[in-house]
Amino acid sequence: MKSRYLRGAALAMFGLALAGCSGRGGHDGRTVLGFSQVGAESEWRTANTASIKSAAHDAGIDLRFSDAQQKQANQISAIRSFIAQRVDVIAFSPVVESGWEPVLREAKAAHIPVVLTDRAVDVSDPSLYVTLIGSDFVEEGRKAARWLLQNTPAGDGPVDIVELEGTVGSAPAIDRKKGFHEALAGHPRYQVIRSQSGDFTRAGGKEVMEAFLKAEGKRINVVFAHNDDMAIGAIQAIEEAGLRPGRDIKVISMDGVKGAFEAMMAGKLNVTVECNPLLGPQLMQAVAAIKAGKPLPRRIVVEESVYPMESAAAAFPTRKY
Ligand code: AHR
């Protein structure tokens, strides 16, 4: 009995110590934001992290940043730690869509508002987060397919496509696939003959593309990669197989990072559909609005363009990531 009492008291003291004994907010009165990032899997993610860190600094927000190394369990631990620290707002970019309900209920019970950035979660209770700031991934997939439909020479020969998918279960992988396939439905000439995840990394894209080339060889007309990093990995695999990326095999990707522009200027990547990672300023505005008790829309969508190879050299000097 006594030892249970002591353990309970010790836990309470630990909780108070984490909270700085002074309720919400930092020691210096600044707003405290706990942010759980997916990882550092891509050039896009690196730019996203830099944007969040510099926007927090500019806004005078005390940012507690945690890198989950692409593991949901790490994100759940980070969110629990933010709850224990009694931060003012929790934000995170969820690695996958499902499995968030319990931890988000814990945040709600602790009265800590949650903002999603970049990726969506699949929850039955919409009150578990305030808003989602990020791209329309389904539309990005449709844009990629529309570019392909408009840029395939006329005829009725088959257009055989291989798809490099993002992280299994993640919102961008699910939605980009949906949009791409949806826009190609009704065009039987276009067939996705193989699909596999390359986990949004260059190494993953290269490895999966090597396997596709081994299995299908010269039959492949197009690679649709769910991000630029996997496309760059695939380009290496295509070259190592003695083929010309951008010519023998068209390469379509997503993000619009500088590496993609360099590949386009070298004639190896045909098009990239922009996905803007510079979400930091919008996130800090949302945090300020929450602190001020102002309402926010449920969804804050980012405006984006499509950059075909021909536009790359002119656009490159203005690219920020
Ligand atoms: O969620 C956005 C996606 O995640 C980007 O397209 C990709 O590069 C990143 O890893």
Burial class (CB in 10 A: 0-12, 13-18, 19+), 33: buried
Phi-psi bin for 25: left (phi > 0), alpha (psi -120 to 50), beta? Answer: left
User: 3-state secondary structure string, the chain?
Assistant: CHHHHHHHHHHHHHHHHHCCCCCCCCCCCCCEEEEEECCCCCHHHHHHHHHHHHHHHHHCCEEEEEECCCCHHHHHHHHHHHHHCCCCEEEECCCCCCCCHHHHHHHHHCCCCEEEECCCCCCCCHHHCCEEEECCHHHHHHHHHHHHHHCCCCCCCCEEEEEEECCCCCHHHHHHHHHHHHHHCCCCCEEEEEEEECCCCHHHHHHHHHHHHHHHHHHCCEEEECCHHHHHHHHHHHHHCCCCECCCEEEEEEECCHHHHHHHHCCCCCEEEECCCCCHHHHHHHHHHHHCCCCCCCEEECCCCEEEHHHHHHHHHHCCC
- Parallel, antiparallel or unpaired: strands 299-301 and 250-255: unpaired
Tell me the CA–centroid distance for residue 42 and ligand 1, in Å.
Answer: 7
Structure tokens at 267: 């004639």
Residue 289 domain-assigned (yes or no): yes
- CA distance to 67, 197, 255, 321, per residue, from 115 (Å): 17, 27, 22, 23
pLDDT for the residue numbered 62: 98
141 and 261 part of one domain: yes
In a domain, 12, yes or no: no
Q: Looking at the structure, tell me whether residues 29 and 54 fall in a common domain.
A: yes
Give helix 280-291 / helix 43-59 axis angle, nearest 10°.
40
pLDDT confidence bin for 26, thresholds 50/70/90: low
Task: Based on the fold, state whether residues 249 and 169 are members of the same structural domain.
Answer: yes
In a domain, 313, yes or no: no
* Residue 309 included in any domain: no
Is the domain of 29 the same as that of 109?
Answer: yes
Least confident of 4-18, 108-122, 279-293: 4-18
For the segment 297-321, what is each residue's pLDDT rounded down to a tens digit? 999 999 899 999 999 999 999 999 9
321 in a structural domain: no
Give the model's confidence band at 22: pLDDT under 50 very low, under 70 low, under 90 confident, else very high.
Answer: very low
Counting from 1 in the atom list of ligand 1, the atom nearest the Cα of 275 is 6
What pLDDT is recorded for position 286? 98
162/174 Cα distance (integer angstroms): 16
Centre of ligand 1 from the C-alpha of residue 67, in Å: 15
- 280: pLDDT confidence band, cut at 50, 70 and 90? very high
Q: How many CB atoms lie within 10 A of CB 15?
A: 13
In a domain, 96, yes or no: yes
Percent of the chain whose pLDDT exceeds 90: 90
Domain span at residue 92? 24-134+277-303
Q: Quick one: 144 and 233 in the same domain?
A: yes
State in Å: Cα 125 to ligand 1 middle: 25
Query: Are 160 and 268 members of one domain?
Result: yes
The yes-or-no verdict on residue 28 having pLDDT over 90 is no
Phi and psi, residue 115, nearest 5°: -115, 135
Q: Does the residue 267 lie in any domain?
A: yes
Distance 170 CA to ligand 1 centre (A): 9
Q: Which of 38, 42, 174, 202 gets mutated to test ligand 1 (max ligand atoms within 8 A of its CB)?
A: 42
Say whether both 127 and 192 belong to one domain.
no
Instruction: Assess whether pLDDT exceeds 70 at residue 39.
Output: yes
Residue 320 lies in a domain: no
Q: What pLDDT, on a 0 to 100 scale, did the predictor assign at position 156?
A: 85
- Answer yes or no: do 204 and 251 share one domain: yes
- 190 and 263 part of one domain: yes
pLDDT band of 25, cuts 50, 70, 90: low
- For residues 175 and 246, membership in a common domain is answered with yes
285 and 164 belong to one structural domain: no
CATH of the domain at 191: 3.40.50.2300
State how far the Cα of 34 lies from the Cα of 63, in Å rounded to an integer.
6
**Ligand 1 — pocket residues by CB below 6 A?**
41-42, 44-45, 118-119, 172, 200, 227, 229, 254-255, 275
- Same domain flag for 157 and 44: no
Q: What is the pLDDT of residue 4?
A: 38
- Residue 1, pLDDT > 90, answer no
- Smallest CA-to-CA distance from 141 within 117, 173, 188, 167 is with 173
Q: How many domains does the chain have?
A: 2
Index of the ligand 1 atom closest to the CA of residue 119: 1
Q: How far does the centroid of ligand 1 lie from the alpha carbon of residue 45, in Å?
A: 6
